[in-house]
Structure 1
Amino acid sequence: MLVSQKEKGELSKYTKKERLLIDREIENLQRFFLGIVNMKEMPKALFVVDSKREHIAVTEAHKAKIPVIALVGSDCNIKEVEYPIPGNDTSVASITFFLNELINAYKEGRKA
């Protein structure tokens, strides 16, 4: 809505400072939501790295009946996740390893 108002020139009625704040808001919204703007259907699954930290995403996925796959550490509740993957969810090397394996498995599944 803000983007269309900006394109139509409807934001010219605001002060320069207000337009700057609106531009920043547009940038933030685009950064966070650009990936889902063009989605045509709900995702088949949700993958999260730390189900404890991403508890809101997990809760929203459950409300939408979307299964959750998660890399869970010892501090996470595995009962909140349909497909838990036990592992270190704080180490960059561990996360990279699991994500690479997930990507490879996805590509293999797409080939079949």
Structure 2
Amino acid sequence: MASRPPDQGFNSRLFLGGAVLAAAGSALVSVGLALGSAALLDAARRWQRGTEMSPAQLARHAIGVAQVATTAGAQAWQAPMPDGRRRAAAGDGRIQPVS
């Protein structure tokens, strides 16, 4: 009869230690994210109070700024190039180098 080789199975103590450390790390990350989020929310509220505008007014202002920027970008794109050519439209398939 041949003797059995030593059992090289699963080290459950090592696995359990890793699981405990992973759980503790996850808990610390969750607490850190909660504290960071609370700090950001508090800072945003203080900033909003300092603007003397309601959240709805701030939103309308931000939308107005975005619309002005969009219009300016579209007009700049459609403006003639220095040599008098126009840029190709996005969907026409032509490629014109910009010099």
TM over 0.5: no
Higher share in strand: 1
Higher share in helix: 2
For the pair shown, the structure with the greater C-alpha radius of gyration is: 2
Which structure ranks higher in relative contact order (CA pairs < 8 Å, sequence separation ≥ 6)?
1
